[in-house]
Chain A
Amino acid sequence: MQTKEELIETLKKIVKPYVQDEQAFENVTEDTDFIKDLKINSANLVDIALDVEEAYDIEIDNESMEQMLTVGSAIEIITKKLAEK
């Protein structure tokens, strides 16, 4: 199991290709909002979710997807889904 810091690093690698605001990306915290801060569009947020599923071999359901708006919430969802495996 990855530590939270490792999870954030992995998530950053997944998110990087879709980021439109590089400065916000350099200062990522758990509160960073994918759409508002990183200027990712909703379609690419779907790609991030699919990449996360593949990276961790988990399935993100619709309800989790609706909550997956920030780095912190994504980490929470990944941690929860990994624990359920």
Chain B
Amino acid sequence: MQNFVHILSKLPYSKPFLFVDHLHSVDENGVEGSYTFPGDSYFYKGHFAGQPITPGVILTEVMAQIGVVCLGIFLLADAQHSDIDIALTSTQVDFYKPVLPTETVIVRSTKDYFRFHKLKCKVEMLNSDGELICRGAISGMMKPKKYA
């Protein structure tokens, strides 16, 4: 498996809000990666009380971090810079199956377009049985800080 540390090291997140474990493939048209939800993740204490299920908003965040931010970092890699300004601008996601603590999810993203600093992707999440968990469209603005 290729080492994508040059992308992962530029992710502007840390625990408990880093939701990328591995990238499996990246090219100019898309990205695939995975994340395993630790059973002691903070949100399971309250979502839901006594019945831990991964919140949809967190699934959306996983899709955004792997599917949009990692791809954006890759697409901006040619430019000479290290810092990138990032803003989530829209999400439209449909959910099909729940994700329980300790599950591993795979995120696949396909670039719709990346123009004028806006990256829009079609993103889907699968569980380890290959079943569809959620799918949608996510957009964000990504631009090098020096041009800000």
Contact = CB atoms under 8 A, between A and B. Distances in A.
Is B truly associated with A?
yes
Interface of A: 41-47, 49-50, 62, 65
Nearest to B89: A43
B4 interface: no
A43 B115 contact: no
Name, among B87, B89, B116, B141, the residue most crowded by chain A CB atoms within 10 Å (CB to CB). B116
Contacts of A65: 116
A43 B113 contact: no
Q: Which 4 A-B pairs have the closest CB atoms?
A: A43-B89, A46-B118, A46-B116, A65-B116
Interface residues of B, number: 11
Nearest to A66: B116
Nearest to A61: B116
A67 to B, nearest CB: 12
A50 B89 CA distance: 16
Main secondary structure of the interface of B (DSSP, over half): strand
Nearest to A60: B116
Contacts, number: 25
B24 interface: no
Interface string B75-99: 0000000000001011000000000
A46 B90 contact: no
B88 to A, nearest CB: 9
16 contacts: A41-B89, A42-B89, A42-B118, A43-B90, A43-B118, A43-B139, A43-B140, A43-B141, A45-B116, A46-B116, A46-B118, A47-B118, A49-B116, A50-B113, A62-B116, A65-B116
Nearest to A46: B118
Interface string B98-119: 0000000000000001011110
B141 A42 contact: yes
A77 to B, nearest CB: 13
Contacts of A47: 118
A61 to B, nearest CB: 10
Contacts of A44: 89
A19 to B, nearest CB: 15
Contacts of B115: 46, 49-50
A65 to B, nearest CB: 5
Given A50-B115, A62-B116, 8 more contacts: A42-B117, A43-B118, A43-B139, A44-B89, A45-B116, A46-B116, A47-B118, A49-B116
